[in-house]
Amino acid sequence: MHSSSPNRISTLHSLQRRHSRSLLGLLALSAALLLTACNTIPASYTPLSEQQQRVTAPIRFILSFDDGPSASEYANPTESILRDLDNNPVQPGIKAVFFVQTRATNGGRTPLGQQLMQQEASHGHLLGLHNASPGHSDQVHMAPAQLEQMLQDGIADVTRFTGHAPVLLRPPFWHYDARTFEAYQRHGLHIILTDLSANDGKIYGVNFSLRRRSNMLRMLAEVRQQISRHELPAIDGSIPVIVTFHDTNRYTARHMQEYLQILLDSASELQLKVATLPFYNDKAELQRALLARAIRSEQQLAHFPGIWNMLWPSTPKQ
C-alpha cells in the first residue's frame, strides 16, 4: 500500500468540501420547496367586502403545460393529460396551452413527441413555444446566433403542426432579459408567465407535491389580493388566472382530475366567484385571454412562481 501524498490529500479534502457544499445546497432547496408547499393562506390576506364581491368579475382558469411532449412509451403522461382534458367530471372539453420543446431529444424530436404535438393541435389546444434545442436550455445564456436559430426552428416546428406561427412563448426557467425579450418581440412572440404553479417541475428529483391542495390555496389567495387591487384585467367578462403544470410529469398526469377540483375548491374557500365555465373551452377565447396577460415590456414588473422569485427577483429586466 502506498502512502498518500500531501497534494493528493489536499485534492481529496477540496473535493469533499465541494461535495458538502453541493449537498447543503440541495438540502436547502428541498427545505425551501417543502416550506413553500406547507404554507396555506398568507397572513396578509383579507377577504373582500360583500360589495367588492358583487362588482368583481368572476375568474376563469387557464391551464398551461410546460416541457412536453413526453416521449415515454410507458404510461405517457402527455397522452393521459389530453384524455383527462377531454373527459373529466368537472368540465369536459377543456382547452389548454402547451408550451412545447419541439426538438428535445427525449420529447419533441421523437416520432411519438411529434405525433402528440399534432394531437394537441387537432384537439383544439394552443401550442406555444418553450424551446427548440435538444435540452431545456436557458435562452438568456444563448449566443445571439444560437438564440435566433432556435427561435426560427421552433416557430417553423409549431407552424408545421398547427398551420400558423405561434404567438405565445414561455422561456425555460421563466428566465428572460432585455435581449431575449427583444428577440421574442421581433418574431411576434409574447411572454406568458403564471399566477399559480403546481411546483411539479423536476428540480433535483422533486417532481411531486405533498401539499398540492394547500399550495394552490396559498397562491390563489395571493391572486385574490391582486384582484382586490384591480391588477388583473377582465377579458370577455372574466378574469383569466394562469395555472402551470408539466405534462412530462406522471404524478401530475395521475392527479390531473383532482387538480381541476382543487382549483374550484380553493376558489370557493376564498369566496372567489368563478365563471359558469371555470376553464376555457374555446381556442380563440383562450388565446385572447393569454395575450391580455402577456408581458408587455422588459421593464414590466414580473411575478414568478414560488422559489423562482428568489432566483429572478421581481424587478424590471435590465
**Per-residue model confidence as pLDDT tens digits over 186-233:** 999 999 999 999 988 755 455 556 678 999 999 999 999 999 999 999
Residue 282 lies in a domain: yes
State pLDDT tens for residues 201-211: 755 455 556 67
Say what the pTM is. 0.82
**Average pLDDT along the chain:** 84
In degrees, rounded to 5, the angle at the alpha carbon of residue 226 between the alpha carbons of residues 221 and 231 is 160
Query: Is residue 36 domain-resident?
Result: no
- Say how many domains are in the chain: 1
Q: Does 6 fall in a domain?
A: no
Asked whether residue 19 is assigned to any structural domain, the reply reads no
Q: Read off the amino acid at residue 306.
A: G
Residue 11 placed within a domain: no
Q: Is residue 105 part of a domain?
A: yes
For 236-253, how does the pLDDT look when each residue is reduced to its tens digit (9 = 90+)?
999 999 999 999 999 999
Residue type, 17: R
Query: Does residue 285 sit within a domain?
Result: yes
pLDDT tens for 17-76 read 433 333 334 433 444 444 444 446 655 555 555 545 555 899 999 999 999 999 999 999
Print burial letters for 222-239: b (CB count within 10 Å at least 16), e (below 16).
Answer: bbbeebbeeebebbeebb
Give me the domain span that covers residue 74: 67-311
pLDDT at residue 33, as a whole number: 44
46 belongs to a structural domain:
no
So what's the pLDDT on residue 199?
85
Angle at 244 between CA 241 and CA 247, to 5 degrees: 145
Q: Is the pLDDT of residue 165 over 80?
A: yes
CATH number at 102 reads 3.20.20.370
Residues facing residue 66 across a β-bridge: 99, 246
